Chain A
Amino acid sequence: DIVLTQSPALAVSLEQRATISCKTSQNVDNYGISYMHWYQQKPGQQPKLLIYEGSNLASGIPARFSGSGSGTDFTLTIDPVEADDIATYYCQQSKDYPFTFGSGTKLEIK
């Protein structure tokens, strides 16, 4: 199985930039597409898709969110951070079965 590694928590100040990383144990690119996706989950809610295929913004998601990376190293950036962004962020790969998720990064405000 492909293992995805995320830092457990990140503390940032409002209106600053948050950078959340996800490293995979195997390459999740194929034919120029990165099969890496990012989700936001707030307490008591279902996850919400933010970024798909590495860098594509999902429908209705503010442009403050962006994704980058390829191969085995990926980043979700939130700039600027707003109070409503307090949540846990998960990366997920869909290159190989089983699909796997990172353990989540909890975004906190300094």
Chain B
Amino acid sequence: QVQLKESGPGLVQPSQTLSLTCTVSGFSLTSNSVHWVRQPPGKGLEWVGAIWSGGSTDYNSALKSRLSISRDTSKSQVFLKMNSLQTEDTAIYFCTRSRGALNYWGQGVMVTVSS
């Protein structure tokens, strides 16, 4: 069945770079897009960016200068890298598969930006 699982460090220091991995199973990255969505504690959902089945990417314009999304199709993994982290980047980061709507979600990984 379709599954997505996020992994990465729980704590990142301010100004450092966040690296997250989304490992998927049950579907192919070359036929589906994967998106990242984040949720600050107690707040709503924010779309971060996406990598499409063909490998192209789209990013939230507010984050674009700090963000990179890539993938390794042989390992069924999608990567998120965000640099110059600030405390406002503290959030749960979800990866999710899209078929238009975001129909499968990982459980999310909590990332805290703090010294």
Binding site for B on A (CB under 8 A): 1, 35, 37, 39, 41, 46-49, 52-53, 58, 90, 92, 94, 97-104
Contacts and interface: CB of A to CB of B under 8 A. Distances in A.
30 contacts: A1-B61, A37-B100, A37-B101, A37-B102, A39-B45, A39-B102, A46-B106, A46-B108, A47-B94, A47-B102, A47-B105, A48-B105, A49-B101, A49-B102, A49-B103, A58-B103, A92-B45, A92-B47, A94-B101, A97-B58, A98-B58, A99-B35, A99-B47, A100-B47, A101-B44, A101-B45, A101-B46, A101-B47, A102-B44, A104-B45
Contacts of B87: none
Contacts of B84: none
Interface in B67-115: 94, 98, 100-103, 105-108
B103 A52 contact: yes
Q: B interface, by DSSP: helix, strand, loop or mixed? A: strand
Nearest to A6: B44
Nearest to A98: B60
A103 B45 CA distance: 7
A53 B102 contact: no
Taking residues whose C-beta sits less than 8 angstroms from the other chain, chain B's interface range is 20 to 34
Nearest to B98: A94
A1 B63 CA distance: 14
A9 B40 CA distance: 19
Contacts of B106: 46
A98 B105 contact: no
